[in-house]
Copies of this chain bind each other. A is one copy, B any other.
Amino acid sequence: MRDGLPRNQALVLDMLRSDQGRALTAYELLARLGPAGMRGPQTIYRALEGLLKCGLIHRIESLNAFTACAHAHEGHGYGHHTHRPAFAVCRNCGAVRELDDPALAAVLGVVADRSGFAVQDRVIELVGACGACAAAPG
């Protein structure tokens, strides 16, 4: 069990890492990991839940898809400090990039405080065209 993770979590994590910089839906994962023995959505969703909980992957709400955390290194495993970065998502090519900006984090903290909400989770996604796709003809 790689990284000390349960088998299914390891399978899903490896698949997502092999698509670094992209996001896969649960059913795309299911299709790709069917041959490895994952037979139903439940199996995938359970693995995803575990990986989300320990911060090894992130959910992209605007795509209903999942991407490997760009900062989770080998050996962090359980107990890894979970961050919730912002993402830039390209509508054209599907590229997903983490945006870690201290100023953004700071402002979000202030906004959250002022809002009177006890913030438990953040969804910060910038959706558009990545540099390459914006420059491309068409």
Interface residue range, chain A: 35 or more
CA distance in complex: A120, B88 (Å): 11
Binds B, one of A13-21, A38-46, A68-76, A98-106: A98-106
Q: Which residues of chain B come closer than 8 Å to A118, judged between CB atoms?
A: 128-129, 134
Q: Which residues of chain B come closer than 8 Å to A112, judged between CB atoms?
A: 88, 126, 128
Contact B134 A129 (CB under 8 A): no
Q: In whole Å, how far is A53's beta carbon from the nearest beta carbon of chain B?
A: 15
Contact A115 B129 (CB under 8 A): no
Contact B104 A111 (CB under 8 A): yes
Does A127 sit at the interface, judged by CB under 8 A? yes
* 23 intermolecular pairs with C-beta atoms under 8 Å apart: A61-B123, A88-B115, A90-B117, A97-B115, A99-B111, A99-B115, A101-B107, A104-B107, A104-B108, A107-B107, A108-B126, A112-B126, A112-B128, A116-B131, A117-B134, A118-B129, A119-B128, A121-B127, A122-B125, A122-B127, A123-B125, A123-B127, A124-B124
Q: 4 extra interchain contacts, Cβ-Cβ under 8 A, other than A104-B111, A111-B126, A123-B124?
A: A88-B112, A103-B107, A119-B128, A123-B123
Q: Name the 5 nearest CB pairs between A and B, nearest first.
A: A116-B131, A120-B128, A61-B61, A123-B125, A119-B128
